[in-house]
């Protein structure tokens, strides 16, 4: 048994009064965030100004505390003046905003001093009215409704009906293997959601069935090509919606939109079109998410090791011609899903190095080509003359990487028939007889071993 933090997210069907309260809480969260940010900015500006007058460090205005605790303390001292209406919402709304601000500030400070990895984090900015709505509750009456799998309890908001059954979480709570830590409400894709952060007791899964390795080559033409030869088509949800999106775009252009210069308010008809556009985008995003979830679940359930490439998605996204197509596939999302689902199902995810030439290597003899244009859909080997689909070749190379890293493994994704003894017997004869393995096989294994050392890491 091990304890993991897991999120359970449910779509809500709130009443109109509940929607008002939800919006009010999210607004309170935003207010507290902006209030805290304004104070921090004023404080930083004051200190910078004093420094420019030549005041020495101890003489400066004392700096404000950036911790969630410190910000909350300041808020509680000033809230009667700054927000006399504060009692309308749960105090959690304001705490949530201040906690977010504390995180944003520490991320910025960490990024500036080099303590934080990843891309540069900018100084937090004020949140506008049109931004995403969300609010987190950490204390109070929150959780599932008793003996009812269609309602959740939220502090000050009340018992809200869920759009879907809460069965999956309810069973765990009833069995005593889950503890709800917090609830976050948010408005996304035209809908209210609640996400519970839950501490779950999980059994450490034993990998079911025989060892099987699958290499997954992600692409745009087809969503994924597996080393078993299976091709998962790219459903191209966005491309299919493009026609309708273009039509709605033209419709919006004919109607009166907002104009900042003339302070023109948008017409109701313009708003209606915008709602339609948002709904279509939500439909596309949901369809994409659904397909990815189905694929990632299937992969970790049917294979013990899944090998994927470490694609530099953010880098490819900078390419204007490819960006929309890459985003339409959701490769990074698939990686994320595979990683956490593998952990749940006892499978392993191996990530090939970004510079591993999975497409340029021949999966039959191991010869690496120096050049391979993106337009060459069929890989033709100059060494052994193999002709194979480009993506399938890459997928097989990825699977071979994992086989090289685990010498005890038997059946592979390359052999759909799954002869578990095949690889092991050839290797055993090679060593037991006291002579090196056949020339070809030895070379191949050596090459793989070296790539493993330099290019492969197990996530």
Residues designated catalytic: 217, 309, 391
Span from 3-11, 99-107, 302-310, 382-390 in contact with Zn ion (CB under 5 A): 382-390
Window of 259-267, 383-391, 408-416, 439-447 that interacts with Zn ion by CB under 5 A: 383-391
Phi, psi of 194 (to 5 degrees): -125, 135
Total number of residues that touch Zn ion (CB under 5 A): 8
Beta carbons of 147 and 95 less than 8 angstroms apart = no
Task: Report the C-alpha gap between 391 and 316 in whole angstroms.
Answer: 18
Min separation Cβ 389 and Zn ion, Å: 14
When the beta carbons of 195 and 367 are compared against Zn ion, the nearer one is 367
Least spacing, CB of residue 326 vs Zn ion, in Å = 29
In order, the DSSP letters of 60-98 are: SPPPPP-SHHHHHHHHHHHHHHH-TTGGGS-HHHHHHHH
Nearer to Zn ion, 96 or 414 (CB): 414
Q: Which two tokens stand for residue 278?
A: 């948002």
User: For Zn ion, which stretch binds (CB under 5 A), given 139-147, 284-292, 365-373, 394-402?
Assistant: 365-373
Q: Which of residues 6-65 bind Zn ion (CB under 5 A)?
A: none
Q: By CB under 5 A, is residue 364 in contact with Zn ion?
A: yes
Which residue from 45, 131, 383, 438 is in contact with Zn ion, where contact means CB under 5 A? 383
Q: Which is nearer to Zn ion, 305 or 397 (CB)?
A: 397
Q: Is residue 458 close enough to count as binding Zn ion by CB under 5 A?
A: no
Q: To the nearest 5 percent, what fractions of the chain are helix, strand and coil?
A: 45, 20, 35
Give residues 343-362 in contact with Zn ion (rule: CB under 5 A): 362
Nearer to Zn ion, 107 or 386 (CB): 386
Q: In the complex, what is the shortest distance from the CB of residue 293 to Zn ion, in angstroms, rounded to a whole number?
A: 37
Identify which of residues 131 and 382 has a Cβ nearer to Zn ion in the complex.
382
Euclidean distance between CA atoms 33 and 97, whole angstroms: 5
E strands within 132-256? 133-137, 143-144, 151-154, 158-161, 178-188, 191-202, 213-218, 222-226, 231-233
What whole-number distance in Å separates Cα of residue 252 and Cα of residue 111? 41
Stretch that binds Zn ion, among 157-165, 215-223, 375-383, 445-453 (CB under 5 A): 375-383
CB closer to Zn ion, 313 vs 364: 364
- State yes or no: residue 190 binds Zn ion (CB under 5 A): no
Evaluate whether 337 touches 292 at the Cβ level (below 8 Å): yes
Rounded alpha-carbon distances, angstroms, from residue 22 to 2, 97, 154, 384, 399 = 35, 14, 10, 66, 49
Query: Residue 87 interacts with Zn ion (CB under 5 A)?
Result: no
Centre a 10 Å sphere on the Cβ of residue 395 and count the other Cβ atoms it contains. 33
Applying CB under 5 A, the span of 59-67, 196-204, 216-224, 374-382 interacting with Zn ion comes to: 374-382
Question: Min. distance of Cβ 456 from Zn ion in angstroms?
Answer: 21
77's CB contacts (< 8 A; 6+ apart) are none
Q: How far is the CB of 362 from Zn ion (least distance, A)?
A: 3
- Single out the residue of 98, 213, 381, 399 in contact with Zn ion (rule: CB under 5 A): 381
Nearer to Zn ion, 141 or 384 (CB): 384
Closest distance to Zn ion from the beta carbon of 363 (Å)? 8
Is there binding between residue 394 and Zn ion (CB under 5 A)? no
Q: Is residue 365 involved in binding Zn ion (CB under 5 A)? A: yes
Question: Could you tell me which stretch among 73-81, 232-240, 363-371, 408-416 binds Zn ion (CB under 5 A)?
Answer: 363-371
Question: Minimum Å distance from CB 188 to Zn ion?
Answer: 49
Using a 10 angstrom Cβ sphere, with 0-12 exposed, 13-18 middle and 19 or more buried, the burial of residue 385 is exposed
Q: What residues contact 413, with CB distance under 8 A and at least 6 apart?
A: 212, 213, 214, 215, 226, 227, 228, 303, 399
Tokens of 241: 């919606």
Q: How open is the CA angle 32-34-36, to the nearest 5 degrees?
A: 65
Q: Are 103 and 94 in contact (CB under 8 A)?
A: no
- By CB under 5 A, tell whether 384 contacts Zn ion: yes
For residue 6, give Cα distances in angstroms to 22, 99, 202, 284.
23, 20, 10, 26
Nearer to Zn ion (CB atom), residue 48 or residue 384: 384
In angstroms, what is the minimal distance from the CB of 278 to Zn ion? 51
Interface positions with Zn ion (CB under 5 A): 362, 364-365, 367, 381, 383-384, 386
């Amino acid at each position: 048994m091990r304890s993991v933090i897991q999120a359970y997210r449910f779509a809500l069907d709130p009443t109109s009064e509940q929607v008002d309260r939800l919006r009010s809480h999210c607004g309170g969260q935003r207010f507290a965030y902006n209030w805290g940010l304004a104070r921090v900015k004023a404080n930083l500006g004051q200190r910078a100004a004093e420094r420019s007058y030549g005041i020495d460090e101890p003489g400066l205005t004392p700096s404000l505390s950036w911790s969630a605790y410190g910000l909350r303390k300041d808020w509680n001292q000033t809230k009667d003046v700054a927000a006399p209406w504060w009692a309308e919402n749960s105090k959690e709304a304001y705490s949530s905003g201040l906690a977010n601000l504390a995180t944003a500030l520490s991320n910025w400070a960490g990024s500036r001093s080099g303590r934080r990895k990843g891309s540069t984090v900018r100084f937090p900015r004020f949140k506008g009215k049109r931004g995403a709505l969300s609010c987190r509750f950490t204390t109070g009456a929150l959780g599932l409704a008793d003996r009812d799998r269609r309602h959740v309890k939220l502090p000050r908001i009340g018992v809200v009906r869920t759009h879907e059954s809460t069965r999956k979480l309810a069973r765990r709570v009833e069995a005593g293997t889950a503890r709800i830590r917090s609830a976050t409400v948010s408005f996304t894709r035209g809908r209210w959601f609640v996400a519970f952060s839950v501490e779950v007791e999980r059994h450490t899964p034993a990998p079911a069935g025989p060892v099987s390795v699958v290499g997954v080559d992600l692409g745009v033409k087809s969503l994924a090509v597996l080393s078993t030869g299976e091709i998962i088509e790219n459903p191209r949800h966005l491309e299919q919606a493009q026609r309708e999106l273009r039509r709605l775009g033209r419709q919006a252009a004919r109607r009166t939109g907002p104009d900042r210069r003339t302070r023109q308010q948008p017409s109701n008809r313009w708003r209606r079109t915008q709602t339609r556009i948002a709904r279509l985008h939500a439909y596309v995003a949901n369809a994409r998410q659904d397909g990815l979830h189905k694929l990632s679940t299937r992969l970790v359930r049917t294979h013990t090791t899944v090998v994927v490439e470490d694609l530099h998605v953010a880098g490819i996204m900078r390419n204007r011609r490819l960006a929309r197509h890459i985003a339409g596939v959701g490769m990074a999302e698939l990686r994320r899903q595979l990683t956490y689902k593998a952990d749940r199902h006892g499978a392993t995810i191996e990530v090939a190095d970004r510079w591993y030439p999975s497409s340029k290597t021949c999966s039959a003899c191991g010869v690496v080509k120096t050049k391979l244009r993106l337009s060459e859909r069929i890989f033709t080997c100059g060494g052994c003359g193999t002709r194979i689909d480009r993506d399938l070749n890459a997928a097989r190379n990825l699977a071979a990487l994992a086989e090289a890293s685990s010498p005890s493994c038997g059946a592979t994704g390359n052999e759909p028939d799954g002869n578990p003894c095949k690889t092991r017997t050839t290797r055993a004869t090679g060593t037991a007889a006291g002579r090196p393995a056949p020339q070809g096989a030895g070379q191949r294994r050596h090459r793989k071993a070296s790539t493993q050392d330099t290019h492969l890491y197990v996530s």
